[in-house]
């Protein structure tokens, strides 16, 4: 069984969700601040939850192009290398923001991103 961490990246907040390939259900976890301490917070979450792989929402444009937001996420993904975990990009064009009516609920958006990934497994 693998345990996954879903991430909805934002400039000020990072939404987190957890799921496994055993039950294929993603659950919102929490939101952490995207500040100078986010690496420590993520490292602790990855260790405590025995995370095997990370799924990051990838904000392609509606036409599928890599724009400014996707390039920001690419930089964020580079910042995650210190965790030593495999990181996957999950197209979030039609899953995260569109399905979350309250855009403040970044943990729910992370769960939708992860759920989409788990359903593809």
Can you give the CATH number for the domain in which 13 is found? 3.30.420.140
Q: What is the arithmetic mean of pLDDT over 79-101?
A: 81
Q: Which domain holds residue 103?
A: 3-120
β-strands 53-58, 3-9 pairing: parallel
pLDDT at 12 over 70: yes
Q: Across the strands, what pairs with 87?
A: 54
What is the pLDDT averaged over residues 53-60? Answer: 96
pTM above 0.85, yes or no: yes
Q: How many domains does the chain have?
A: 1
Q: Is residue 16 classed as helix, strand or coil in its secondary structure? A: strand
Structure tokens that stand for 16 in this block: 């987190």
- Mean pLDDT within 35-50: 97
Position 103 confidence tier, pLDDT thresholds 50, 70, 90 = low
């Amino acid at each position: 069984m693998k345990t996954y961490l879903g991430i909805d990246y934002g400039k000020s907040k990072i939404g987190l969700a957890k799921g496994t390939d055993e039950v294929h259900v993603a659950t919102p976890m929490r939101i952490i601040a995207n500040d100078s301490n986010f690496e420590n917070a993520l490292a602790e979450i990855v260790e405590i939850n025995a995370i095997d792989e990370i799924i990051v929402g990838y904000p392609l444009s509606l036409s599928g192009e890599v724009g400014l937001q996707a390039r920001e996420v690419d930089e964020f993904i580079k910042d995650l290398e210190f965790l030593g975990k495999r990181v996957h990009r999950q197209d979030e064009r039609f899953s995260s923001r569109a399905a979350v009516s309250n855009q403040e609920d970044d943990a729910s958006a992370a769960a939708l991103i992860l759920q989409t990934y788990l359903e593809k497994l």
